[in-house]
Structure 1
Amino acid sequence: MSGKAMIVCMSRKICVDLYDAIVALRPDWHSDDLNKGKIKVVMTGSAADSERLQKHVGGKQRRDTLAKRMKDNSDPLKLVIVRDMWLTGFDVPSLNTMYIDKPMKGHNLMQAIARVNRVFKDKEGGVVVDYIGILESLKRALNQYTDSDRKNTGIDTSAAIAVMKEKLEIVQSMMHGFDYSGYFSTSARTRMRTIAEGMNFILGKDEKEQKDFIQYATELGKAHGLVSATEAGKAVTMEVGYFKAVKASLIKLQHGSKTPPSKHVIEQRINQLLERSIISEDVIDVFQTLGLKQPEISLLDEHFLQEVKALKTKNLAREMLKKLLEGEIKVMSRTNLVKSELFSEKLKRSLNKYRNQSITNAEVIEELIRMAKQIRKMGEDEAKLGLNRDEIAFYYALSKDEAVQDFYDDDTLKTIAQELTESIRKNVTIDFNIREQAQAMMRRTIRRLLKKYNYPPDQAEDALEIVMKQVNRMSGNVAENLTYDGMLAQQAAEDSEDYKL
């Protein structure tokens, strides 16, 4: 039968070079007419391309015309040369040969090869001519593909089963010493608790082993996906499902989730797993599973902290507190630079002491609980100052140095913070961060204010830099409707009064 072919090249220049070489040997294959000729180059381009490349570049209309011709088995167009075009999502059933001279891997490689394996009339299969050496990339890509695509690419099922068993043994060895038989229970509550306890077990290992578990559990899931319909695959479906659930829940705990599944959804997924023996990456809500109410850290009360402290799964308790604190510090950093840096450093020190085995798991949990209480206490103290959010941020920026705290009383610091905030609010804009002139004028404004209140000269330089950093944070939060159009004239008249630091 008459078939069609595709050549895959590394670059657009190579595509054109190859086209020229082929038509030099077969001049009758070439035609300047888009609707004629046996060979065409399909690629995108730009106005900066040389005239030689421009001849083969066109818009959507050109590509659509060539696509229609390529799909028509009776059309003279038999050979196309591409770099990236038509390698995925483009079906030409009569395409039976692909020449590859470009490195490819993973999903893209498998999709490209599948172009020549589409069923068509008497076609028994496609031919891939490898000029660059894609065999190893093809082997690595096998773990990423589905059963139907595996059949198309001719994967050896016995080899895939061997890979799955190897990955399973690795993950089993990493869970050695932990009994996860509760996951095979018909009780959804027992199964969720077993996932939480498995997370606690993995969190008790060092960071490298935690990352290794996530990696190997992911590889196991992909390998099992290739053989899930075989007897060997069916036999371990539930066990693989458990490891995937632990992995997915660890990732959620470490990176967060905007839309965590509800308990009802979790139970539905587990019931599906029981009824159909399918694999699902069940992600559990740790707080629900352990019987804790999801907290807002700014409202952490003694009862919640004591509940966490009493948890038997200490590694999970530590990780939960760590993530809660990191979340609060992240929110804090958007509006209060000094305060967020203070607690970020405290958290880092506590966790480093634990990782270096200077303190026990129980002791680091105590430190994290104390930190949560400090955040709550500072919030209560701030409320008594009678300042708004931005004024509090500048209050911290101005009083960071202990010498300054000794120099001023609270009322004076509050007054400076209020006046500073008001002045900045009048003069800051959204694009403040990128306008050098505006920043220079802001520095002069701050200098004059510090001079007005006799700010200690030895601490003034550091205070200026800290306040400027805080101003940059503030500019992204509150300056949408502000301008500094009148600032230039005002500052020019006052330059001679600058407080030199």
Structure 2
Amino acid sequence: MKDIPYLFHYNQICVLSNGTETKLGSFKAGYEHYFEWLKTADEKENPNRNAIRENAISLEYLIAGLLKKESLVDYVESFILFDRQRTKLIAKNHQYLGVNNVFETFKNRENLNGKLGVFWHTQGSGKSYSMVMLARKIKHKISGNFTFLIVTDRDDLDKQIYKNFLRTEFITKEEKVQPANSMALREELKTNKTILFTLIHKFRYDKGKEYPILSERDDIIVIVDEAHRTQYKDLAENMRKGLPKAQFLAFTGTPLLGAKRLTNSWFGDYVSEYNFAESIKDSATVPLYYVNGMKEVQLQNDYLDTDLAEILENEELNEAEKQRLENHYAREMEIIKRDDRLDKIARHIVYHFPRRGFLGKGMVISVDKFTAVKMYDKVQHYWKEEIKNLNTQIASLRDEEKRKELKVIVDYMRKVEMAVIISEEDKEEEKFYKAGLTVKYHRERMNSVDENGFDIEDNFKNPEHPLQLVFVCSMWLTGFDAPSVSTLYLDKPMKGHTLMQTIARANRVYPGKTSGIVIGYLDVFKSLKRALLDYASDDSDDVPVKEVDKLYAQLLETIENTKDFCLAHNVDLSRVLDETEVFTNLSLFGEFADILVSQDEVRNEFRVYANTVNNLYEALRPDIFKMDFDAGYKEAILYLKGIIDGKIRPEKLESAKGKINQLLDVSVIAEETAQYDANTGTALVVTTTAPVDLSKLDMDELREHFRKVKYKNLEISNLREHIEKKLAQMMRKNVTRDKFSERFRSIIDEYNAGGAQNDQFYLKLLKYMEELKEEEARHIKEELTESELEIYDLLQKDKLTKDELNRVKLAARELYKTLLEKKEELFVVGWEKDDQPQEKVRKEIMTVLNNYLPESYDREVFSNKINLIFTHIVDQAVMGFNWVA
């Protein structure tokens, strides 16, 4: 297991290293948590501690050597997936614990009467991938000829789960694992296929006839996903009659609760629980905020019979439900669908959608198919009107800043595409025509595939595609995962598990997305609070979905807390604010930043406060524009954070001589940088530059500059950041440089512990940079390329003579040269996952090293070096760094 890198988060490391079953909290920002843990690890008990081969600065590159061997092997075998051979998916803490809980239960299945239990993990936490991990582990770790039967009650959910199993290579496209109808399913269940996917509806049978026994095998594992309406009725009874000895397991984010607790009575006890509140704390999902829509269109939920929400859960109503809807809820439906009300909602969507903080994708959820199409038409109409109105304003405005602001909105609106997503039914064109609507265009679009072979679902899931807003009523509300979705416009009566499943469309984690927003036009918050008590409780009174007025209060409170925190560290933000100007004394920001970066703990805590302020503010846009909000302190806090993060440089704003920044800047030929808006803290422009070149740094000049500089803590912070970037680059080029990471951390730890003053600390950092500079140039001294040097370092052993070192150097050169020359022959597509081409690579390594390594490399050492080099090359291929076709 030596020298193998894997991406883990802190809580995963804890679980894998000590085997605890405790559900750990979220990974906390900052390097200290990881490094403090590293220092306390017992080196004798963890002999692989020094086998760190990845970037120890990056929080995501952690150490295989510190983990329990059996836990790491288990993780590597069963909890790492590859989506379409490109994207690496690794289990999160709750997935690792949950799947292993089920696995242990499964080993005891003989005593459970077919009830394997309920896997209750909230929506957005990766349940479908957990299914894949569980199936893989059972298939590979337990002897037997198991059949997995994956059961859902919605076609879109069935397709999504099938795609996940296909893309992670549990199955291939050639395998026929989706029976076309009820008869085909019955025939397939008499075979011993590894896996089958079906809708519960395919267990229908002729009325009045007893459902036949299809198989009495006890090694059929039935995994049911979110099939709430169908798992406790006739179809489920048929399934259980047909498979009397099967093992049943429920995967759900919202089990049926209440007095009967039907989910538990049919499937058994919970084998793993991970609720909504826990997922937010772990950052597995983002927080959700609820905004009551326009007051003039609101219908109080108390007025709406909760049975109406239950009927509307199913888009395809049966005749009894249709009759009940017409007889009992005609008045309610008429009010909900009233034309003037829908007009107001459409206008609100048109105003709100392009003015949000994070411009993620959105979904408009209507009461039925006809209303979904009608809302599309209305929003399209008012969208065009809004663009005309904004262009008129732009032409008449003299304020250049305001013109730019409106032009950004118009440019965004011009790019946005919209679509209707509804299920197909017989004679739908005729039905929509009678309602004064057309569905043909929408149906053609839903069924079409673009020039790249992508359908409408692929396009909506692609964050870069202009399809930004969709109009739905039931489809895509469950079993649909598009992480960039951030906004839901909800105008449909809902309750309980259906409501929870719906709002979870906006809770997926996505870069730049700090929260999801639910805009409710039917005052469903009362229903939401009731649902959250069942499905999201963490045993506290704090509901993990906030109303917008409470969110606003939370923003104000956080700003006050941030001011108090700053004041406790002699940073008085009121000194930079004035009634007439935004900031009265820019020079104070440099002084404030210098104070806050003096200790890592203080800096990290301030960042948490500032990030919270920014996230809350972004979540409130555009509603906050209509509130009596004084943005002065918010701007000051984010401006100060920009200075601390190096995004804003006060010395440049004051025309001062920021020598260290100039000196460091000339050495940067390649890092990703961003220009930030000083008011919002959001990125405006991102550019890419080349690797940090230490040879261009003048150490004497830096020493002299530090002696004269005013804000020493800021200079130290800049230098530290610079070193961290360089160290990360150097460790990616040579996996043997972990000692440099440990040395850097020891310098930081000594400073944080108060063992060094600023001047001493700065000098130690400069000395360390000189060591890095020497290491970076070592390949030139050794007359090797960087890649050859890495192989040379991996091949070395103790007590080599000068002649032997030259032989090792020659071996490194020849091996690298051979691998390059035979790259097309050796490194075919997917070689790193296939035993046969892997063995070919290993033999080539063995041949070259056998020809060139000194005789002092005995059989054991020689074998170890072959394994080390081979493993290193495989790792690079797996990570996509090198040696790929």
- TM-score for the superposition, normalised by structure 1: 0.60
Higher relative contact order (CA 8 A, sep 6+): 2
Match among 656, 674, 681 for residue 281 of structure 1: 681
State the secondary structure of the residue aligned to 1:396.
Answer: helix
Give the match for residue 98 of structure 1: 493
Match among 395, 420, 423 for residue 58 of structure 1: 423
Indicate if the aligned counterparts of 2:487 and 2:519 stay in contact, CA closer than 8 A: no
Give the match for residue 245 of structure 1: 639
Once the two structures are TM-superposed, the CA of residue 241 in structure 1 deviates from its matched residue by 0.7
Indicate if the aligned counterparts of 2:599 and 2:752 stay in contact, CA closer than 8 A: no
Once the two structures are TM-superposed, the CA of residue 327 in structure 1 deviates from its matched residue by 1.7
Match among 594, 597, 608 for residue 203 of structure 1: 597
1:372-426 CA-partner distances (Å, limit 9, x unpaired): 1112123334223332232222222223x3424x464543332222122122222
Indicate if the aligned counterparts of 1:336 and 1:470 stay in contact, CA closer than 8 A: no
Give the match for residue 324 of structure 2: 26
* Separation (CA, whole Å) in 1 of partners of 2:791 and 2:425: 56
Indicate if the aligned counterparts of 1:200 and 1:315 stay in contact, CA closer than 8 A: yes
Give the match for residue 855 of structure 2: 454
Task: Please give the residue correspondences for 1:423-438 in structure 2 after superposition, counting only pairs within 5 Å.
Answer: 423-425=818-820, 426=822, 428-429=826-827, 431-438=830-837
Aligned amino acid, residue 218 of structure 1: N
Structure 1 residues 336 and 131: CA distance shift in structure 2, 3 A = closer
Structure number with higher helix proportion = 1
Indicate if the aligned counterparts of 2:558 and 2:613 stay in contact, CA closer than 8 A: yes
Identity %: 14
Q: Does 1:464 align with 2:878?
A: no
Give unpaired runs (5+ residues) of structure 1: 31-37, 43-55, 73-78, 117-125, 143-154, 271-278, 286-293, 482-501
Indicate if the aligned counterparts of 2:692 and 2:726 stay in contact, CA closer than 8 A: no
Give unpaired runs (5+ residues) of structure 2: 1-296, 329-336, 338-366, 371-420, 438-471, 508-514, 533-541, 648-669, 686-690
Structure 1 residues 165 and 180: CA distance shift in structure 2, 3 A = closer
State the secondary structure of the residue aligned to 1:58.
Answer: coil
1:248-300 CA-partner distances (Å, limit 9, x unpaired): 454567xx983422xxxx7xx67xxxxxxxx4338899xxxxxxxx9643532
Larger Rg: 1
Structure 1 residues 84 and 330: CA distance shift in structure 2, 3 A = same
Task: Please give the residue correspondences for 1:296-307 in structure 2 after superposition, counting only pairs within 5 Å.
Answer: 296-303=693-700, 305-306=702-703
Once the two structures are TM-superposed, the CA of residue 479 in structure 1 deviates from its matched residue by 4.4
Indicate if the aligned counterparts of 1:200 and 1:314 stay in contact, CA closer than 8 A: yes
Once the two structures are TM-superposed, the CA of residue 59 in structure 1 deviates from its matched residue by 5.5
Once the two structures are TM-superposed, the CA of residue 41 in structure 1 deviates from its matched residue by 7.9
Q: Does 1:369 align with 2:734?
A: no
Indicate if the aligned counterparts of 1:106 and 1:140 stay in contact, CA closer than 8 A: no
* Separation (CA, whole Å) in 2 of partners of 1:14 and 1:218: 40
State the secondary structure of the residue aligned to 1:440.
Answer: helix
Question: How many residues align structurally?
Answer: 395
Give the match for residue 274 of structure 1: none
* Separation (CA, whole Å) in 2 of partners of 1:391 and 1:137: 57
Indicate if the aligned counterparts of 1:420 and 1:449 stay in contact, CA closer than 8 A: yes
1:95-126 CA-partner distances (Å, limit 9, x unpaired): 6x63333234897798544344xxxxxxxxx6
Indicate if the aligned counterparts of 1:90 and 1:115 stay in contact, CA closer than 8 A: no
Match among 348, 352, 367 for residue 745 of structure 2: 348
* Separation (CA, whole Å) in 2 of partners of 1:388 and 1:7: 74
Structure 1 residues 422 and 383: CA distance shift in structure 2, 3 A = same
Once the two structures are TM-superposed, the CA of residue 171 in structure 1 deviates from its matched residue by 0.8
Indicate if the aligned counterparts of 2:646 and 2:718 stay in contact, CA closer than 8 A: no
Indicate if the aligned counterparts of 2:779 and 2:786 stay in contact, CA closer than 8 A: no
Aligned amino acid, residue 174 of structure 1: F
Structure number with higher strand proportion = 2
Match among 370, 378, 384 for residue 775 of structure 2: 378
Indicate if the aligned counterparts of 1:249 and 1:283 stay in contact, CA closer than 8 A: no
* Separation (CA, whole Å) in 2 of partners of 1:365 and 1:358: 13
Indicate if the aligned counterparts of 1:245 and 1:282 stay in contact, CA closer than 8 A: no
1:190-227 CA-partner distances (Å, limit 9, x unpaired): 62x544443332223443x4443233323434359766
Structure 1 residues 81 and 450: CA distance shift in structure 2, 3 A = closer
Indicate if the aligned counterparts of 1:446 and 1:464 stay in contact, CA closer than 8 A: yes
Structure 1 residues 395 and 238: CA distance shift in structure 2, 3 A = same
1:159-207 CA-partner distances (Å, limit 9, x unpaired): 94x544432221112112125567459899962x544443332223443
* Separation (CA, whole Å) in 1 of partners of 2:526 and 2:432: 22
Aligned-residue Cα RMSD (Å) equals 5.4
Once the two structures are TM-superposed, the CA of residue 369 in structure 1 deviates from its matched residue by 1.7
Structure 1 residues 114 and 448: CA distance shift in structure 2, 3 A = same
* Separation (CA, whole Å) in 2 of partners of 1:205 and 1:450: 50
Aligned amino acid, residue 280 of structure 1: T
Give the match for residue 546 of structure 2: 140
Give the match for residue 145 of structure 1: none
